[in-house]
Chains A and B, each alone.
Chain A
Amino acid sequence: KQEVTQIPAALSVPEGENLVLNCSFTDSAIYNLQWFRQDPGKGLTSLLLIQSSQREQTSGRLNASLDKSSGRSTLYIAASQPGDSATYLCAVNQAGTALIFGKGTTLSVSS
């Protein structure tokens, strides 16, 4: 059974810092891995999708990497801003099933 783990569960940083969020998964047979952002009480916004055959994806200040063999992904946020404060969710897509989510990392960026 696929399990997805995110570390740390919470993170507080001052504005301007670069930071890394971690995601690990137990079964490497995945179609893709996705990172989502969720603001309190709101829905999910897709940030980045890394296909199984890819190593990384970039969007603006965000860079996500994927290492299938080790079952790991990282989300790198450059020059963090208070507006980045949210919960970040990692999810893996396995063939024939729905997404399997980690419990998320809650990020707080102080000005």
Chain B
Amino acid sequence: DGGITQSPKYLFRKEGQNVTLSCEQNLNHDAMYWYRQDPGQGLRLIYYSQIVNDFQKGDIAEGYSVSREKKESFPLTVTSAQKNPTAFYLCASSRGSSSGNTIYFGEGSWLTVV
């Protein structure tokens, strides 16, 4: 099946730890994105990548890092510098980055700080 796979679905992080969320797509999409969703709020863009080996900060990039070494993969690392990391994280992709390209989302990953 074609789609976007995020793992793990649930993740618990201790204070001071870095954690990495995986995102893989087999849609052959050039652009990939990471969004954060907090309860009762809309989605906010963390990072996005239009091509391999290139990525840009979104609106809330502080405390996060990404890499784009392969077209199909766009992992997100939540670092200890992120003060309030508990949230639902959504990876997405689109064929291109021009306006009108449909953005497809993965099933999301829940991150909880314990």
Report if A and B associate in a common complex.
no
Question: Which positions in A face B, CB cutoff 8 Å?
Answer: none
Question: Which positions in B face A, CB cutoff 8 Å?
Answer: none
